[in-house]
Amino acid sequence: MELRKFGHACVTLERDGRRLVVDPGGLTPEDAFAGADAVLVTHEHFDHFSGPKLAAALAANPALEVWTNAAVAAAFDGDPARVHVVGEGDTFTANGFEVRAYGRWHAEVHPDMPRVPNTGFLIDGALFHPGDALTVPDVPVRTLLLPIHGPWSRVADLIDWVREVKPVRAIGVHDGALNPVGLAMLANFLGDQGPAPTGAPYLHLAAGESQQL
């Protein structure tokens, strides 16, 4: 399976000629949809979900289908027959990929700010995209996509989360607001060789880079 990063929080997965897109938001280039017949959306925030982009992709590809939670589906002005609502514990097949949904809520930014629903996705029992939550799946995870920067995150929480999940590897995502200094600083903290080792090697991909998993 090949993982390719499309800026900030969006990635694609490709296996046996099939392609899956996760979290194509407002910061995602349109070519992320090329060749894809399935999209997963974790939550409604603009950097993970763009209604106009998703509607355009559905119009351009009659085979494309979307799986997401009820909040995103309600906010989407598109063909409801091709938008499937899923929630925690649900399992489904998306373009040949086996997916299980985990989690209910976005991480807290501040007690005064309402939390939105957030659904993480474990794909092929191997790769976990959490969206914007530090959900711990109840099964082993080979590749953990690690949201390394956001208004809700602390390095200490990220280190503890990786330690709890115990993945084989962690790959950084959710990095669109970081400059090279911030990326280097977080890479120093989030790997298995950091000052507080996580127990898992850490890899950061730039936009457009890929990794075989």
Is residue 145 one of the residues assigned to a domain?
Answer: yes
Domain presence at residue 54: yes
pLDDT digits (tens, 9 = 90+) for 146-169: 999 999 999 999 999 999 999 999
Q: Is residue 185 part of a domain?
A: yes
Q: Which CATH number does the domain housing residue 29 bear?
A: 3.60.15.10
Model pLDDT, residue 139:
97
Q: Structure tokens of 25?
A: 């938001």
pLDDT for 78: 67
Judge whether residue 11 has pLDDT over 90.
yes
- Asked if residue 210 belongs to a domain, the reply is no
Query: Is 162:190 a contact under the CB 8 Å cutoff?
Result: yes
Quick one: average pLDDT of 55-65? 93
Give the whole-angstrom CA distance, residue 9 versus residue 176: 8
Residue pair 53/39 in contact (Cβ under 8 Å)? The answer is no
Residue range 17-32: mean pLDDT, rounded:
94
Tally of structural domains, the chain: 1
pTM value > 0.85: yes
Taking 70 as the threshold, does the pLDDT of residue 190 lie above it?
yes
pLDDT at 30: 86
Q: Residues 84-105: what's their mean pLDDT?
A: 97
- Is residue 22 pLDDT above 90, yes or no? yes
Domain extent for 171: 2-204
Residue 97 resides in a domain:
yes
Average pLDDT, integer, range 131-143 = 97
Residue 25 inside a domain? The answer is yes
Q: Dihedral, CA atoms, 49, 45, 67, 29, nearest 10 degrees?
A: 20
Q: Provide CB contacts within 8 A for 176, sequence distance 6+.
A: 7, 8, 9, 27, 47
Average pLDDT, the chain: 95
Provide, rounded to the nearest whole percent, the portion of the chain with pLDDT above 90: 94
Residue 45 has which token pair?
A: 């925030």
Which pLDDT belongs to residue 137? 97
pLDDT of residue 209: 96
The answer to whether position 43 is within a domain reads: yes
Residue 79: pLDDT band (50, 70, 90) is confident
Please indicate, yes or no, if residue 209 is contained in any of the structural domains.
no
